[in-house]
Chains A and B, each alone.
Chain A
Amino acid sequence: MAIGRPLSRVEARDKVTGAARYTADTRLPGMVYAALMSSAVSAGRVRAIDTARAEAAPGVLAVITHLNRPQWHSTPAALRYVETRFPLADEHIHHHGQYLAVVVAGTREQAAHAAGLVAVDYETRPAVPTLDAALPDAHQPVWRFEPEFPTLLALGDPEARLAAADVRLDLEYRTPYNSHAPMEPNATLAHWDGGSLTVHETSQQVHLDRPVIAGALGLPPDRVRVVSTLVGGAFGNKTAVWAHTLLAAVAARQVGRPVQLVVTRKQVFTCHGHQPPIIQRLRVGANRDGTLQAITHHTVNGTPVLFDRPEAAISPTGTVYALRSVGVRVEVAGMHMPAPATMRTPGDGPGMFAVGSALDEMAYALELDPIELRRRNHLAVHPLLGRPWSGKQLLECYDVGAERFGWERRAPRPRMMRDGADWVGFGMSSAQRLEHHAAARAAVEIRDDGSAEVRTAAPEIGTGNLTTLTQIAADGTGIAPSQVDIRSGDTTLPESAPTSGSRTTGSTGTAVHLAALRARQAAARLAVADPRSPLHGLPAERVGAARGRLYDVDVPRRGETYRDLLRRNGRRSIVEQGFHDPAGADPRFAYATFGAHFTEVRIDDTLRRVRVTRHVGVFAVGRVLNPKTARNQAQGGIIYALGGALMEDLATDPVTGRFIAPALTDYHVPVNADVGDIDVSFVEEPDYNAHPLGAKGLGEVVAVGVHASIANAVYHAIGIRVRDLPITPDKLLRP
């Protein structure tokens, strides 16, 4: 079996030798360079734009602005093209950093220099700079994900339940702008061949990009090819078509040469997505016996002035704990901000910061251990669907985590644990993420040299899917993983699920699994029908496959290799397709992944700097396909959220709303020295109700609940409850 083994990544050698090729590493003959010029104001209008100096600069081939851009075709829907307005649409400015011109030149230096020569005469208008300033505009969003992600929901009578509860809490939590900050800036290489366009793009989802690009340019989708082989980190920031892609395409058409456009790091921060600021108000009621009675959760997040984009922070609220009554409401408030994007973990990340913190506050109010409060409100059934959860080993996660962490050493009250100058605190939270699905296709080919190839579009963004999909195909065909090649990241390949929403394992993995099984079965049928095969005349279902060989399961010595079978029959290969139907899971159950986090923090009494010295994460995600890559991804998810908890804040100017320091020098993400001991384990029980492989998503649930676990540990250490992230020392500077 290849599945379950800690195989090294199939692309590992390329990644350590520099041979791995990302979008900006790809070159074409005659390629030229584009640079983007960004708005210096947050709201207003371009009164005049002077491109004469830029056009006259050495090497410049084209300068495109709203005055001379080609016509855009279909109107974008605010989903995969994130905004509702195409780039350079008109003279109006809706957010700081908005692209106002694209400059194409013979070299990178020439393009960057000329972009700086474009002169704009702005008419500046007052901006709505902050979420607080936008609050009077708070309104229920018009949102096309209804009803899958509801923005208004009531179960029972929460007001009456709250009024009758023994203990009531009314709490406000805040999270700031957070940035995905992937290491690889977004990039495009656009190339026209007659009326057909090829776009090399930093994308998590080539097939979803294609119709957006084609629609904007007025092309039939089959004239657009999108290629995204390796992606240098994404975390959601590459789940949309952004302006640079469309601008590179029109620039390439205009200059008649391939155009490479790599956005600057500053532009990654401004115009390529973020998690917007959110204010969450929670009211929780519980009785003295520790039973939760009711919860209301009202959120408001910032949204661009042009369209509504709710951040579904209420998504965990009604489904994680047993509650007699639930009321949730999501609102948005318009700001002069660039477009947000889904960011690991959308909705559940900020939502569980609030819910997980509020549960902790309730545990102290009731003088209960935080785990005990969660146990008493454990939920076996999805309360809105009325169906039992499948694969919910959450109680085991608590047990395993408490044991590995040493939870029994926890003092019952805050400010009771001290080690020299350090206050020490323990915190915990649970984690949950609904298991999402998407349609997915894959092909598996068994070749006459005994090898196999997997073909499915899913780009590799670092999650290890090239490796896990190879393992799945290896087991399905009975061919060693070292003999299985994989091609991915190209719209010429079968359409996978997008590499987002933790869907690769469940959806694309199932498609590969089915394709591999069908290829094996087709080979078995060929063998049993072939009088020259040692398997001739057997029922096909008695044919097994292992180590590149088909054999009789009752008499394993009897059999032959794929190679011999195919060559004798003059077949170069056998190719079969697999399709994952998103409606395929057993409808009697509800599906999610689960986990528990335990954190130890140490806080220097004088400096009040929080260090996470130990963190234990235990997860129930069904079967683990590759413990090596899974453990790495889980550790990374925990650290990703640690950044949000302790340091990440894309600070804004309170007057203009501009990001003050959109740079990795100032937007601090965790560095090696910030990270203590991260212990990851899995309560591994295959969930065959969810998928035929029994494996579910991993990449997002691991980052859910971490913020609360850390904030809860901080409170336990020094008795200060921080409800607005990040937990920086200034918020702890009181006795």
Chain B
Amino acid sequence: MLAGGLSLGAGLAAPPVRAEASGAKPEILTLVVNGDRVRLEVDVRASLLDTLRDRLRLTGTKKGCDQGACGACTVLLDGRRVLSCLTLAVMHEGSEVTTVEGLAEGDRLHPVQRAFVDHDGFQCGFCTSGQIMSAVGLLAERPRVTAAEIPELMSGNLCRCAAYSNIRDAIEAAAHLSREGE
């Protein structure tokens, strides 16, 4: 069960968008999202973020500002960290997108997710998906990142609850773990 006991909307089919009514010519788009190929018709104005959330029902990725200032919408696009609110979906035909929902393997959490749980790397949790995706991207770019570098390299992701110390500890622990696993 989801936290708070609410699971509204699970399993609902995506409603069709009446393309002719949107006021903008729709585009057919193919994306590979968390390993699944999806084909959908999108409003050309739709950001990648809104497409993930509204159309694909992947609401783990959060909209904190819609202005590229907070980092809550961070996803991996073809393996790189991007702010999904600042890019239009139609620009990414054929791209691979990984969201926070795509990290765990079944019940097994990704090492970064595990470390965020163990180190209490969040409070309200609203920025957490973005923090985790940023951290996953960071560790892929710099497997040997040092503790001293983490604060600067994670400063694109705001956390107003300010769990920053724990976020650093979690990333450091995850980095250590993945190096050990080499």
A670→B154 CA distance, assembly (Å) = 12
Chain B: number of interface residues, binned into ranges = 35 or more
Verify A462–B124 contact, CB threshold 8 A: yes
Verify A670–B109 contact, CB threshold 8 A: no
Given contacts A15-B125, A20-B3, A233-B126, contact A265 B165 (CB under 8 A): no
Verify A636–B163 contact, CB threshold 8 A: yes
Using an 8 Å CB-CB cutoff, how does the interface string of B110-146 with A read, 1 for contact, 0 for none?
0001001110101111111100100000000000000
The answer to whether B57 has its CB under 8 Å from any CB of chain A is: yes
Q: Of all chain A residues, which has the CB nearest B43?
A: A109
CB distance from B45 to the nearest CB of A (A): 5
The answer to whether B50 has its CB under 8 Å from any CB of chain A is: yes
Q: Interface majority SS on B: helix, strand, loop or mixed? A: loop
Using an 8 Å CB-CB cutoff, how does the interface string of A54-70 with B read, 1 for contact, 0 for none?
00011100000000000
Chain A: number of interface residues, binned into ranges = 35 or more
A16→B111 CA distance, assembly (Å) = 11
Given contacts A28-B9, A184-B62, contact A463 B23 (CB under 8 A): no
CB distance from B165 to the nearest CB of A (A): 6
Which chain A residues lie closer than 8 Å to B122 at the CB level? 15-16, 462
Given contacts A27-B57, A487-B4, contact A636 B65 (CB under 8 A): no
A22→B6 CA distance, assembly (Å) = 10
A232→B62 CA distance, assembly (Å) = 10
The answer to whether A523 has its CB under 8 Å from any CB of chain B is: no
Query: Within residues 252 to 299 of chain A, which ones have a CB less than 8 A from any CB in chain B?
Result: 262, 264-265
The residue from B101, B120, B125, B162 contacting A232, defined by CB atoms under 8 A apart: B125
Verify B160–A11 contact, CB threshold 8 A: no
Query: Within residues 621 to 670 of chain A, which ones have a CB less than 8 A from any CB in chain B?
Result: 628-629, 632-633, 635-640, 663-665, 669-670
The answer to whether B48 has its CB under 8 Å from any CB of chain A is: no
Q: Of all chain B residues, which has the CB nearest A463?
A: B123
A185→B59 CA distance, assembly (Å) = 15
CB distance from B35 to the nearest CB of A (A): 15
The residue from B6, B17, B120, B155 contacting A26, defined by CB atoms under 8 A apart: B6
Verify B8–A26 contact, CB threshold 8 A: yes
Query: Within residues 580 to 609 of chain A, which ones have a CB less than 8 A from any CB in chain B?
Result: none
CB distance from B134 to the nearest CB of A (A): 10
Verify B162–A27 contact, CB threshold 8 A: no
A575→B152 CA distance, assembly (Å) = 51
Stretch from A89-97, A223-231, A329-337, A374-382 at the B interface: A223-231
Verify B132–A664 contact, CB threshold 8 A: no
Which chain A residues lie closer than 8 Å to B81 at the CB level? none
Verify B126–A18 contact, CB threshold 8 A: no
CB distance from A168 to the nearest CB of B (A): 39
Verify A17–B150 contact, CB threshold 8 A: no
Which chain B residues lie closer than 8 Å to A16 at the CB level? 100, 109, 113, 116-117, 122, 128, 132
The residue from A628, A669, A678 contacting B158, defined by CB atoms under 8 A apart: A669
The answer to whether B167 has its CB under 8 Å from any CB of chain A is: yes
Query: Within residues 73 to 125 of chain B, which ones have a CB less than 8 A from any CB in chain A?
Result: 99-101, 103-104, 109, 113, 116-118, 120, 122-125
A108→B55 CA distance, assembly (Å) = 11
Q: Of all chain B residues, which has the CB nearest A24?
A: B63
The residue from A18, A27, A670, A671 contacting B8, defined by CB atoms under 8 A apart: A27
Query: Within residues 1 to 47 of chain A, which ones have a CB less than 8 A from any CB in chain B?
Result: 8-22, 24-30
Q: Of all chain A residues, which has the CB nearest B109?
A: A16
Verify A185–B165 contact, CB threshold 8 A: no
Which chain A residues lie closer than 8 Å to B6 at the CB level? 21, 26, 227, 229, 489
- Chain A residues in contact with chain B, CB under 8 A? 8-22, 24-30, 57-59, 106-110, 113, 180-185, 227, 229-235, 262, 264-265, 460-464, 466, 485, 487-490, 628-629, 632-633, 635-640, 663-665, 669-675, 677-678
Q: List 13 A-B contacts (CB under 8 A).
A: A9-B117, A16-B100, A18-B59, A18-B61, A24-B59, A109-B24, A109-B45, A113-B45, A184-B124, A232-B125, A488-B4, A639-B162, A663-B69
Known contacts A180-B160, A464-B123, A640-B160; 8 further A-B pairs (Cβ under 8 A) = A17-B109, A18-B100, A22-B62, A106-B21, A182-B160, A462-B161, A632-B123, A636-B123
